[in-house]
Structure 1
Amino acid sequence: MYGLTSQFRRAAVSIAANIAEGFKKRGKKDNGRFMNISQGSLEECRYYIILSKDLGYLEESELIPKT
């Protein structure tokens, strides 16, 4: 559980950090590379949510946004 939490936090922070870093890059190619890295981190977070559900750490109802 601790390892999964740590990996999830790292990936979540990486999303915003790479967007911020890419925003400051002058070339479109560099900017796009950092946005792509951010997308990878986002997919990693999605995987950790699915894994947490499969391992019984989360209930399905906790994953559905409350309106």
Structure 2
Amino acid sequence: MNTQHRENDIVGYVNGKAIIKDDSGKWFFLEIPEEFVSPGEQTFEDDLTPLAALDINEQNIIAKELAW
């Protein structure tokens, strides 16, 4: 079977959430303890929730923290 998987890079950790950016530029988060997260690691897309699912205030905090 030939399936295509996206690159899902962990780019940071903010307020109990790993912040992930995929290779198409979409942003996601994963609630996970910080000790299990290292920037640059990959994660499975099945575990991800779009960043847009968070309220706008939390999105702004993450954006400020990661300076995007």
Which is richer in strand? 2
Which is richer in helix? 1
